[in-house]
Amino acid sequence: MFITFEGGDGAGKSTQIARLAAHLREAGHEVETTFEPGEGELGKELRRLIQHSGDIDARTEALLYAADRAEHVARVVRPALERGAIVLCDRYLDSSVAYQGAGRDLGTEEIRDLSIWATHGLMPDLTLLFDIDPELAATRRTGEPDRLEREPLAFHTQVRENFVAAAHAYPERFVIIDAARTPDEISADVQRIVGERMTGAQS
């Protein structure tokens, strides 16, 4: 099963991935936790270029994310799925559609198609969207902000709106989670949703 965690920076995705992974491992499942961009040696270099270098042309940025995703799927995600693991991924193609397609105004369909091509069409079985007001999310972020985190509020608002629109467009894949609540409340929801989806897949 391939589960992706989406939402703006500061939504709490990393915390919930760690909690869900521990829960599933306790239940006897093999779990692969991973993230984009930056998994693997090539990914680390691409992450550095994308997030911490100077100004990058918007199309170049989109292509770098697609290159990272192609390598990530080929080297990490598909092999894990093929051996029967549950893959929990912090960001996937919906992030590119929201940030580059909508936020950078490059076209959501064009960016979606680019990622689908890069991954040979691999789509998540379930996408958990951690929805939170961008202003609240900004107060939760720690450390030096990267290039995307430094974008103005209007940019992050547009990204959030695209995520929510995608969730409504693909309700069979997305579940929206209120990320403004406590980590324990969110974790209980995540475990319930994933448990129900796994039970349904086995029946």
Question: Rounded to 5 degrees, what angle do the CA atoms 118, 119, 122 make?
Answer: 150
Contact 69, 93 (CB under 8 A): yes
pLDDT of residue 19: 98
| pLDDT tens figures, 53-80 | 767 899 998 999 999 999 999 999 999 9
Residue 8 labelled as part of a binding site: yes
Residue 13 labelled as part of a binding site: yes
Taking alpha carbons only, the member of 64, 124, 71, 47 closest to residue 93 is 124
- Using DSSP's 3-state secondary structure scheme, residue 118 falls into helix
Residue 44 labelled as part of a binding site: no
Residue 143 labelled as part of a binding site: no
pLDDT of residue 35: 94
**Domain spans, the chain:** 2-202
Instruction: Pick left, alpha or beta for residue 38 (phi over 0 → left; psi -120 to 50 → alpha; otherwise beta).
Output: left
Given this structure, which CATH class describes domain 2-202? alpha beta
Residue 38 labelled as part of a binding site: no
Q: Name the DSSP letter for residue 145.
A: -
Contact 23, 155 (CB under 8 A): no
Residue 187 labelled as part of a binding site: no
| pLDDT tens figures, 91-100 | 999 999 999 9
| pLDDT tens figures, 139-158 | 887 777 777 788 889 999 99
- pTM for the whole structure: 0.92
pLDDT in tens, the chain (203 residues): 999 999 998 899 999 999 999 999 999 999 999 999 887 778 788 878 877 776 789 999 899 999 999 999 999 999 999 999 999 999 999 999 999 999 999 999 999 999 999 999 999 999 999 999 999 988 887 777 777 788 889 999 999 999 999 999 999 999 999 999 999 999 999 999 999 999 877 65
Residue 195 labelled as part of a binding site: no
pLDDT of residue 37: 86
